[in-house]
């Protein structure tokens, strides 16, 4: 019992010493630890790192961890969040296709509900958000980035909502957050074609705000953006952001069940299953 307490104390001391060195507080989001969080004590900004190798595909567990993290940031009155990835080449590969292929009814419901939760919390967060996009960011990966208020993308990767290329339509809340960033004209063209933009193309069209040379540079640039809010009342800032995004947020809030049923209906269509099966095979053959 005493030895256990000493072990616990030693572990706490070691972990607090390593965090002090970088003036960071560390906390993990929950049981499965697929999301790491480091809060800079000086700025109050949290770097949230998706950590589900190999490609951070968004499955139920990762979405649940991310959702809990967003709750913690909100209840801790976070000064800001930078979303990034532990992978060297992928920000997030989007929704885990295996969650939609041969779906198990209860799990698919929980999966989609968790995605809705993450979107509502991230898109509507009272604290400022930025994405340090340090790798490819297709579909659901792009969704996470466009929920944020600012995007800095490392060169030589791709980003976009490519759902039509998989034979599915981007759900309505994907579309509304895309239109919050791009003009309706650009959004329509990119969504219908399923365009994946290079970093330079994404900058040109306004899908990202800055280009970075590497991950550290992207985090630095996101931090500079978030620090600008030091001069602004956080209440006024949050109210303004949420007013601008209110219609989109209410659209999903008021139609969650309908959106869930549409998803379940769509993924259970034989033609969608066939397409997803072929897509999984093509990824495996690469």
Within 13 Å, how many C-alpha atoms sit on residue 171's CB side? 24
| Residue of 50, 62, 70, 95 with catalytic role | 95
**With respect to ligand L52RLTOW, which residue has the nearer C-beta, 74 or 201?**
201
Q: What is the C-alpha separation between 32 and 265, in angstroms, rounded?
A: 30
Does position 90 interact with ligand L52RLTOW (CB under 6 A)? The reply is: yes
Query: Which residues, 6 or more positions from 150, have their beta carbon under 8 angstroms from its beta carbon?
Result: 128, 129, 130, 131, 209, 222, 225, 226
Q: Which of 124, 58, 62, 71 is nearest to 97 (CA)?
A: 58
Does position 266 interact with ligand L52RLTOW (CB under 6 A)? The reply is: yes
Under a CB-based contact definition with an 8 Å cutoff, are residues 11 and 2 in contact?
Answer: no
Q: How far is the CB of 168 from ligand L52RLTOW (least distance, A)?
A: 4
DSSP tag of 58: B
Q: What is the C-alpha separation between 243 and 142, in angstroms, rounded?
A: 23
Q: Which residue is nearest to ligand L52RLTOW (CB)?
A: 94
Q: How far is the CB of 130 from ligand L52RLTOW (least distance, A)?
A: 21
Clarify whether 140 is annotated catalytic: yes
Query: Among the candidate windows 9-17, 145-153, 211-219, 278-286, which touches ligand L52RLTOW by CB under 6 A?
Result: 278-286
**With respect to ligand L52RLTOW, which residue has the nearer C-beta, 28 or 172?**
172
> Which residue in 83, 171, 176, 219 binds ligand L52RLTOW (CB under 6 A)?
171
Clarify whether 162 is annotated catalytic: yes
Q: What is the C-alpha separation between 3 and 5, in angstroms, rounded?
A: 5
Tokens encoding 12:
């706490």
**With respect to ligand L52RLTOW, which residue has the nearer C-beta, 127 or 263?**
263
Q: How many residues bind ligand L52RLTOW (CB under 6 A)?
A: 28
Print the SS3 string covering 67-104: HHHHHHHHHCCCCEEEEEECCCCECCCCECHHHCCCCC
What part of residues 18-37 is at the interface with ligand L52RLTOW (CB under 6 A)?
none
Active site residues: 95, 140, 162-163
Binding site for ligand L52RLTOW (CB under 6 A): 54-55, 57, 89-90, 93-98, 136, 138-140, 162-163, 166, 168-169, 171, 262-263, 266-267, 283-284, 286
């Amino acid at each position: 019992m005493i030895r256990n307490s000493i072990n616990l104390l030693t572990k706490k001391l070691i972990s607090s010493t390593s965090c002090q060195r970088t003036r960071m507080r560390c906390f993990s989001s929950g049981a499965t630890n697929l999301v790491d969080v480091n809060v800079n004590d000086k700025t109050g900004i949290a770097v949230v790192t998706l950590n589900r190798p190999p490609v951070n595909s968004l499955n139920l567990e990762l979405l649940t961890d991310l959702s809990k993290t967003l709750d913690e940031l909100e209840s801790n009155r976070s000064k800001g969040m930078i979303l990034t990835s532990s992978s060297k080449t992928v920000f997030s590969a989007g929704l885990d296709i295996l969650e939609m292929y041969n779906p198990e009814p209860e799990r698919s419901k929980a999966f989609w509900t968790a995605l809705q939760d993450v979107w509502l919390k991230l898109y509507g967060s009272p604290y400022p958000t930025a994405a340090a996009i340090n790798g490819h960011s297709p579909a659901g990966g792009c969704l996470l980035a466009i929920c944020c208020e600012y995007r800095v993308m490392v060169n030589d990767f791709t980003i976009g909502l490519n759902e039509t290329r998989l034979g599915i339509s981007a759900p309505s809340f994907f579309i509304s957050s895309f239109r919050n960033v791009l003009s309706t004209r650009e959004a329509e063209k990119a969504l219908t074609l399923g365009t994946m933009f290079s970093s330079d193309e994404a900058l040109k069209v306004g899908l990202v705000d800055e280009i970075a040379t590497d991950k550290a540079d992207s985090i630095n640039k996101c931090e500079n953006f978030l620090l600008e809010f030091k001069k602004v009342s956080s209440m006024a800032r949050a109210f303004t952001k949420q007013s601008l995004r209110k219609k989109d947020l209410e659209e999903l809030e008021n139609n969650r069940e309908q959106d869930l049923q549409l998803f379940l209906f769509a993924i259970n269509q034989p033609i969608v299953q066939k397409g997803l099966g072929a897509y999984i095979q093509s990824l495996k053959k690469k």
